[in-house]
Structure 1
Amino acid sequence: MSLPDPPLLTLAELAALPADDTVVVTVNNRLARRLSGELARHAPAGVAAQARVLPLSAWLEALLESALFLPDAPPLPARRLDSFGARLLWADTIRAAETARPLLDERRLAALAEEADALADEWRIGLDAPDAGEETQRFALWRQRYRRQLAKLDADDATGRAEQVLALLTAGGLALPSQLIWAGFRDLSPRQAALWHALAGQGVAQARLADPPVAAAPQRFTALDPQAEWRAAAAWAAEQLTADPQGRYAILAPQLEGVAPFARRVLLQTLGETVPFNVSVARPLCDWPLAHAALGWLSVLTLRTDYRPAQLGAALLAGHCAGDLAEAGERARLDAQWRRRGVLVLSTADWLRELFACPRLSNAWPAAQAALSGRAARCDTWAQRFAAALTALGFPGDRPLDSAAYQVLDAFSALLARFAGLAAPAGTLDAAGAVQLLVRLAQDTPFQPERDPGSRLDVLGLLEAEGERWDGIWLLGLTDEALPAPARPNPLLPLSGLKRAGAPRATPERELDYARALFAALLQCAPQVIVSHAERDGERELRASPLIAALAATEWHPRPAPAVVPLPLDALDDEAGPPLGERDQVAGGTQILEAQAKNPLWAFARYRLGATALPRHAEQVAPPVRGRFLHGVLEQVWRMLGDQAALLAARADGSLPTLIATAVAEAARQTLGELPAAVRELEIARAGQVAADWLALEAARLPFAVTALEAPHSWRRGPLTLKLRLDRLDTLPGGGAVIVDYKTGNVLDTAGWGRARPTNLQLPLYAAVLGEGVQGLLLARLNAREVAAKGLAAEALGLPGVLLPDALGAGNPLAGLAWDGILARWRSSIETLADEFAAGHAVNVSQGAGDLEFCDVLPFLRITLDREESEA
């Protein structure tokens, strides 16, 4: 609906109006800020006062506030719900109404209902249209119940407040300005039109602010892909900023949020660090470090029983607490220690004992936790408790805060105030529920620091740019998928009503009209305009928006890179570190040669430089913990049995289950002490079954005796000494030895034994250490899904999966070699790997595709960077 024949005012004419009796209402905050600045510049000399400029919604709120002082005005609701609070109430209403129906996404449905409610009131859409389906009927029911809930809480929402202002205007009595100027409104909704007429009925003179036309002749630029389009826009901006040192320019993009990191990177590469620019993309408040830290501490402070190391670690690393800087190293050490130990949970006593490592934080902890004690309460009480707890904890810490951090701190304080306002719709909450709701509110609250005043280049979305002024703009990404945007009618409202009202996003025709108006408004933002689109996005072909398809091509093109005469260079392949000296200490066993075989740079970075990635926090029993436990179980079993004959006898007389239970209990006492009781019992039951299954398999073997368990060995090659530990050594009746290695993973892999640079070489290395007496290598899989054996032996062991040399297939590199030849080949390969490592050989080369699957120094190998560069 268009404005009812409004007169047009220029900015100069607006500045000449009486400032104390004139109000300018705008479509958004950005336009209000710009007009305020321009009015100040147009003000006559010596005149300091100027008309009030504020968004329409803010002016309506101010009118409603003023109604509180009217003697005969009807009483207004005591509470005001913001959008988040309204969605909470909608969710409760829908949940109560749909108890018999499963709801897949309650929050999404509440957001749709809130939007439908606002559209129905703003655009006067009835719910009784002939095409109203079941969704609309259910929404009508929810809406009735929602209104009753609002009345019960003595609350209103944004939609209700707008209707209250309209009713008060119609009734008269509000203090109104003599002049009201509308700025930035291309058309009016039915409710805004009703507001216009109500104001006119009260004698308010109204006009529309007419921006001076900008003679923009847009030109079109076509790029190969979106990445090339951004690079072209950045190059254009760099040229303009250089040619016009006082000018202000902008790059405008639809859906900027998804490409903001790439845009920043391209602009930094093109402009360098010396040219400030502003990328106008807000992130959720919870993503900003200071707010993230506050929410993390509140989450752990409200725990009263077991603590999750991942949750504690996140708070410890976030800091902004007592001992923020002085104890940062100890906090990081605690987190790393829990990761390496595979700790699942920490009791309160364990946590407080560990916290002694950070004295200042330890001293602050009791007071901070006490501030959150108490019964379940409403949000206003919890907001006070949260503030007190953070203060007691030393938040925001003693590190200096920059401007952005101060703004985040202010935003977090405002967040607590908004949280307090949720007391009515949220009801009574316990501590954990209150923190969860605060986190949700922080996720729903966008935040962006104030714009750098020295920035001459703005990067922002299309809607945010409307009404602004620059010396030149580049509009990119204008494909037919972006402008016009696809129609997305609200599914809870009848389509006929949406279409009849011309509501936003209702129909393709409505979106095309809106896109045309938006594009026309954007062309008024600068005298120089370039529009662009990409031809392809990967394999997908793109088309230009119909709004720009007929525009003339621009004569501007990115300048070719200047020809540079390369300087003579000396190439140096630095693929070798310093050789290992006799006094150099290298900690490790077979893992050293395993890494050397898969990627020599991995071995050098991990075992010479000591670099390693921190493991993730354990979410289940860590594989090393389970491995040590099962190793311990079978060690105890075989210490009691000694040989296969004793195993067969225990099976025969029924004593084997008792023996296994004794072994499991002792191994659990030694290795499972940090696990929760319930998890420990599950692991004990699992281990007992796995041990029984494996011993049943061993009972079918040919005779053997166990002669060594967890026996330490060392192997020396030049300056390199490896510390080894054999899980088990069996002796056969003929005197030969079989090395047994327990594996608790899902697969047994011997494929790497035949490679020129052998992998999975733990058993081949043990064979090289023990020498000629070794007659077999046996991998034992100890897994609840399956127990199995795999290996290679000079003579039959009576176990499926353990092959003889002459049974190796033709594709196996070891095929055709006798047992002694296989041992000799392994020994030679292992010695070569050891010599490479000792010599400092650190070339960044991998043989197999899966060799780096478990690499813990990937950043050193630059695998990800190489992949990104090859894709680019």
Structure 2
Amino acid sequence: MMDTPILELAARGPLLTANNRLAATLISRYDQQQAATGILCWERPAIMPLSAWLSARGDELGLTARLLNDGQVRRLWEEIIEEDIARHNASGLLQVSSSAETASAAQQLLLQYGGNIDRYPMSDDVAAFRRWLRDWERRAAEAGWLIPAALPGLIATGLAQGRIKAPEILTLAGFDLLPPSLEDLLRSLENAGTRVEVITDDGGPARSVSRCCATDPQEEVRLCARWTRLLLERDPRARIGIVAPALGDYLSLLRDQLQAELGPRQALQFGTAHPAGFSLGSCLAEEGPVRLALTLFGCGNRIELAEAGLLLRSPFLGHSVAEGRARALADLELRNNGQSVVPLPRLIRMVEKLGTLPRFLAILKHLRDWVADRRLRRPGLWSEQMARLLEAVGWPGEGAIDSRQYQLVEKFLDLLHRLASLDLVSSPVERHVAVGLLQRMARETEFQIEEAPSRLQVLGLLESSGQSFDALWMLGMHDGAFPVPARPNPFLPLALQKEMAMPHADAGRELEFAQRACQRLFHAADQVVVSWPGSIDGAECRPSPLLADLPENLPECAPGNDPRRLLTGSVVLETWQDPQGPGIPAGIPFKGGTGILKDQALCPFRAFAHHRLLARGLEYPDIGLDPMSRGTLVHGLLESFWSRICSRRQLLILSDEELARELARSAEDALQAFEKEKRLDLPNRQRRIELQRLQRVARNWLEKEYDRPPFEVIATEQSRQVTIGNLAVRTRIDRIDRLENGRQLVIDYKTGKPDVSQWLDDRVSEPQLPIYCFGMPPEEVGGALFARVHCRPDENGFHGLLRTDCAWDERSARTMERLLDEYGREDFDDVLRHWRATLEQLADEFVDGQARVDPIDEVKACRYCDLLPFCRRLEYDLMVEEIPRD
């Protein structure tokens, strides 16, 4: 599209565009042209979207008060569908909100393209839509309501009646196809004396159009970003466009790569403006202040842990700075409780008990009053209540806000006004219905910060209509995305949609639209590059068939940029290795138990961070009990059982009834101790299930105990203080058995799969049982065993190392021999000496303060480590791998 003719036409009469973006672009170019001529002030040109011009003509006809907005139309459709479902006892599989959206779209198509659905065979969906449409038309006639799609026809009638003055000249720009209702309106304008001009984009041939294939979308976007940077380095005033038919699939990649290439220094700073203008904004519901407000409104008497954590951590609630540390500690306590859902009254009691969060306590009490409101109200009254709640809790937070956050707040407050506008069509609803309406509106609302137009525009296919550039790159042009697959409306007869050539009706209609779009875009710039990915998620992609005649040519691109190179290229960095922390006094008991040496063996930094700095990853409770809690319950049950049944002989004389009673008692003891420790009450149904599970698991495990030679349980959950080298730690041994030969077995229960070979590693990465053996004379230690207690009986069993005279089956003896041979150990006494030497060395390293980042194995030590963001080992590895060194 050539600018000069358009701007000249804009000076003579209204210029109507296909979308808001094109209107803004043309107004900006008009202003630049006027300023370039030396003019100091000028009249604003009549450049506007077609929808705005139609609305203004509707106002001339006095239709504004009767015109429903999109939200009101959607809500009216929802109520009609809900009532129809109730009348016909329809199944609950129908999704009311999405059905209302599709029905509204079908209604607009009928108004824009005409046609009578009664003339065609009807499916169940079409028949249902016809019922809904008749109900809609009846209600609209009674109330005098109109929808925007009806305006072209009403304006044409107004022109014929002389109630609207026709302009002398009217120009349309950026329209690929016009629906019949607009074509009829243009004919009415011409009959009324208006000179109508429709500007098309099929001018002379572009000087350069080529195509290229990238490996995948990531590589495709990187090439595009580097090409863009090269053009802007050569000409900073160049107008560049990036168009993608499926822009949503490329949006995140484009934001990141364009920022990295065009503004790498800004990429390292939070909140800086992006160097490109995007036609597709972010989802309003996902923006911080709005997400917090929607979470607040959606809370009930039972609050998900994620919601409670969001309220505690959010900076968008009042007094979040003054109470920030106390709120973070409360969030940590909630996570440690292990509950995925927290009753609101319990959360209030917990905060009251803490005594450090008076302001947050007031917020929770406001929330309690909000949740307790079960009245029926119209959406407008609920909107007022929501605004009051936000004011009471100090939303959107303390201190000054920047321009972006200010626009976010204004956009959300406007959304509350739109919710209130539903009073015109909606009956009174409960609180959760009003909240659901607001949440859906927020999810469907796009947020874009208002800023000056950028010379680099990233657009979808429709938003690119009418735009012109110096250079253009078209992304994602594979056969699965362009032409767009047909998506006929299910509420209209397919034959009608094909006959009237409605959008998305069939493949032929989509092909025609795609050909027009190609014709337009190939002439929208002097240089056009068209690309597609060779594969997406491993699936092969082929180029769109519309690209078959284009020559293949990889465009010239700038060398790749990476904001991390700024850290190494712009300044001289000093490297400082600090693997040594302050030591601790020798021999003084240190909190952390056997976990200290386990962490020290896996990675010295891990031990220092966990036990000296007390750094821990946050807990993430799951639905029900997590595996660790289930293991704790098994430990508690077996401790209770063996504290009363102290030997194999006593186990054998128990009858089935007595055994069942003992297991039931032990399971109850374990649950009570668990609930007391965690300060929670399990729901009754969950409690019954856990009792049954524990008894079943224990009964299956005891089959393994029956098969053993005689033994006596001499200790369960025994606490000891053990000195290892210069480190004193407290231990808690699950169980110690005495055998007939007088030797003792140290046993530790495991619900997971143990790895005995870790005992023989140079750094003994599983030191718990070896440490337990420290407090006993070596000659009395008969063996160390993991007792794996699993819900599947075939997974149960003992795993460990035994003296020859303590083994009770050939299998364990052979396993012992194999391990000793593999790791070069002579016998069990040699293993005990290895444990002592290794563990004393680990203990002395910890006491000395050694804290180097040195994992024993990246899989074993790092895969499930909660300190990766702290030690940054993986980030360092990535930088070494990705950033080339000179």
Q: Same fold (TM over 0.5)?
A: yes
User: Does the C-alpha gap of structure 1 residues 149 and 69 become closer, same or farther in structure 2, counting only changes over 3 Å?
Assistant: closer
Q: Secondary structure at the match of 1:250?
A: strand
The Cα of 1:552 is off from its aligned counterpart by 5.1
The Cα of 1:28 is off from its aligned counterpart by 0.8
The Cα of 1:27 is off from its aligned counterpart by 1.0
The Cα of 1:406 is off from its aligned counterpart by 0.6
User: Does the C-alpha gap of structure 1 residues 509 and 629 become closer, same or farther in structure 2, counting only changes over 3 Å?
Assistant: closer
Report matched runs for 1:294-333 at 5 Å: 294-300=293-299, 303=300, 305-333=301-329
Q: Bigger shift: 391-400 or 836-845?
A: 836-845
Measure the CA separation in 2 of the matches of 1:133 and 1:379. Answer: 35
Report matched runs for 1:22-37 at 5 Å: 22-37=13-28
Q: 8 Å contact 1:730–1:737 — kept in the other structure?
A: yes
The Cα of 1:53 is off from its aligned counterpart by 3.1
2:349 is aligned to 353
1:709 is aligned to 716
Measure the CA separation in 2 of the matches of 1:170 and 1:390. Answer: 51
Aligned residue pairs: how many?
850
The Cα of 1:716 is off from its aligned counterpart by 3.5
Measure the CA separation in 1 of the matches of 2:820 and 2:502. Answer: 70
Report matched runs for 1:250-329 at 5 Å: 250-271=241-262, 272-273=264-265, 277-280=275-278, 281-300=280-299, 303=300, 305-329=301-325
1:730 is aligned to 737
1:57 is aligned to 51
The Cα of 1:291 is off from its aligned counterpart by 0.7
Measure the CA separation in 1 of the matches of 2:297 and 2:715. Answer: 53
C-alpha distance after superposition, 1:630-656 (max 9, x if no partner):
43343333334444444455x249555
1:505 is aligned to 504
Q: 8 Å contact 1:10–1:212 — kept in the other structure?
A: no
2:797 is aligned to 789
Measure the CA separation in 2 of the matches of 1:622 and 1:163. Answer: 63
Q: Secondary structure at the match of 1:734?
A: coil
Q: Secondary structure at the match of 2:462?
A: helix
2:466 is aligned to 467
The Cα of 1:524 is off from its aligned counterpart by 4.8
TM-score (norm 1): 0.84
Q: Secondary structure at the match of 1:307?
A: strand
User: Does the C-alpha gap of structure 1 residues 206 and 826 become closer, same or farther in structure 2, counting only changes over 3 Å?
Assistant: same
Q: CA RMSD in A?
A: 4.3
Q: 8 Å contact 1:480–1:545 — kept in the other structure?
A: yes
Q: Secondary structure at the match of 2:749?
A: strand
Q: Bigger shift: 862-871 or 611-620?
A: 862-871
Paired amino acid for 2:813:
L
Report matched runs for 1:342-381 at 5 Å: 342-355=338-351, 356-367=355-366, 369-370=368-369, 373=373, 375-381=375-381
Q: Secondary structure at the match of 2:557?
A: coil
The Cα of 1:813 is off from its aligned counterpart by 3.3
Measure the CA separation in 2 of the matches of 1:241 and 1:9. Answer: 24
> Which one of 617, 620, 625 corresponds to residue 621 of structure 1?
625
The Cα of 1:382 is off from its aligned counterpart by 0.9
Measure the CA separation in 2 of the matches of 1:806 and 1:456. Answer: 72
Q: Secondary structure at the match of 1:464?
A: coil
Paired amino acid for 1:478:
M
Q: 8 Å contact 1:249–1:457 — kept in the other structure?
A: yes
The Cα of 1:191 is off from its aligned counterpart by 1.4
C-alpha distance after superposition, 1:74-133 (max 9, x if no partner):
x94788745643663475367457745563755544444333333333222443566765
1:857 is aligned to 867
Report matched runs for 1:697-776 at 5 Å: 698=705, 701-743=708-750, 745=751, 747=753, 749-750=755-756, 752-753=758-759, 755=761, 757-770=763-776, 771-776=778-783
User: Does the C-alpha gap of structure 1 residues 119 and 351 become closer, same or farther in structure 2, counting only changes over 3 Å?
Assistant: same
1:635 is aligned to 639
User: Does the C-alpha gap of structure 1 residues 540 and 432 become closer, same or farther in structure 2, counting only changes over 3 Å?
Assistant: closer
1:820 aligns with 2:829: yes
Measure the CA separation in 2 of the matches of 1:804 and 1:689. Answer: 30
TM-score (norm 2): 0.83
> Which one of 174, 180, 190 corresponds to residue 190 of structure 1?
180
Q: Secondary structure at the match of 1:273?
A: helix
> Which one of 585, 589, 595 corresponds to residue 591 of structure 1?
595
The Cα of 1:596 is off from its aligned counterpart by 4.4
> Which one of 10, 22, 29 corresponds to residue 5 of structure 2?
10
Q: Secondary structure at the match of 2:398?
A: coil
Measure the CA separation in 1 of the matches of 2:118 and 2:427. Answer: 34
Paired amino acid for 2:401:
L
C-alpha distance after superposition, 1:227-258 (max 9, x if no partner):
34333332332233233344443333332322
Measure the CA separation in 2 of the matches of 1:868 and 1:400. Answer: 37
Report matched runs for 1:198-597 at 5 Å: 198-209=188-199, 216-220=206-210, 222=212, 224-225=214-215, 226-271=217-262, 272-273=264-265, 277-280=275-278, 281-300=280-299, 303=300, 305-355=301-351, 356-367=355-366, 369-370=368-369, 373=373, 375-423=375-423, 427-452=427-452, 455-535=454-534, 542-551=541-550, 557-559=556-558, 576-578=579-581, 580-582=583-585, 587-597=591-601
Q: Bigger shift: 235-244 or 44-53?
A: 44-53
* Percent identity over paired residues: 29
Q: Secondary structure at the match of 1:742?
A: strand
Measure the CA separation in 1 of the matches of 2:90 and 2:323. Answer: 54
Q: Secondary structure at the match of 2:48?
A: strand
Q: Bigger shift: 734-743 or 36-45?
A: 36-45
Q: 8 Å contact 2:820–2:827 — kept in the other structure?
A: no
Paired amino acid for 2:828:
W
Q: Secondary structure at the match of 1:515?
A: helix
C-alpha distance after superposition, 1:403-438 (max 9, x if no partner):
110111011011112222334666443333332332
Q: 8 Å contact 2:721–2:731 — kept in the other structure?
A: yes
User: Does the C-alpha gap of structure 1 residues 561 and 512 become closer, same or farther in structure 2, counting only changes over 3 Å?
Assistant: closer
Q: Bigger shift: 761-770 or 163-172?
A: 163-172
The Cα of 1:719 is off from its aligned counterpart by 3.8
User: Does the C-alpha gap of structure 1 residues 459 and 186 become closer, same or farther in structure 2, counting only changes over 3 Å?
Assistant: closer
Measure the CA separation in 2 of the matches of 1:95 and 1:800. Answer: 69
Q: Bigger shift: 773-782 or 183-192?
A: 773-782
Q: Bigger shift: 479-488 or 792-801?
A: 792-801
The Cα of 1:738 is off from its aligned counterpart by 1.6
Q: Bigger shift: 116-125 or 831-840?
A: 831-840
Q: 8 Å contact 1:9–1:210 — kept in the other structure?
A: no
Give the gaps of 5 or more residues in structure 1: 1-7
Measure the CA separation in 2 of the matches of 1:625 and 1:525. Answer: 63
The Cα of 1:724 is off from its aligned counterpart by 1.7
Q: Secondary structure at the match of 1:241?
A: helix
Measure the CA separation in 1 of the matches of 2:681 and 2:714. Answer: 32
The Cα of 1:392 is off from its aligned counterpart by 0.7
2:270 is aligned to none
Paired amino acid for 1:278:
A
Q: 8 Å contact 2:293–2:390 — kept in the other structure?
A: yes
The Cα of 1:277 is off from its aligned counterpart by 0.8
> Which structure: greater helix fraction?
2
Q: Secondary structure at the match of 1:400?
A: coil
Q: Secondary structure at the match of 1:804?
A: helix
Measure the CA separation in 1 of the matches of 2:617 and 2:97. Answer: 38
Measure the CA separation in 1 of the matches of 2:665 and 2:536. Answer: 64
Paired amino acid for 2:505:
A
Q: 8 Å contact 1:277–1:458 — kept in the other structure?
A: no
Q: 8 Å contact 2:58–2:151 — kept in the other structure?
A: yes
Q: Secondary structure at the match of 2:196?
A: strand
The Cα of 1:815 is off from its aligned counterpart by 9.7
Measure the CA separation in 2 of the matches of 1:566 and 1:156. Answer: 63
Measure the CA separation in 1 of the matches of 2:478 and 2:469. Answer: 23
Q: Secondary structure at the match of 1:803?
A: helix
Measure the CA separation in 2 of the matches of 1:23 and 1:710. Answer: 86
1:671 aligns with 2:638: no
Q: 8 Å contact 2:17–2:175 — kept in the other structure?
A: yes
User: Does the C-alpha gap of structure 1 residues 169 and 658 become closer, same or farther in structure 2, counting only changes over 3 Å?
Assistant: farther
The Cα of 1:387 is off from its aligned counterpart by 0.5
C-alpha distance after superposition, 1:432-483 (max 9, x if no partner):
3332332222112121212355x44333333323323444333333344444
User: Does the C-alpha gap of structure 1 residues 721 and 177 become closer, same or farther in structure 2, counting only changes over 3 Å?
Assistant: farther
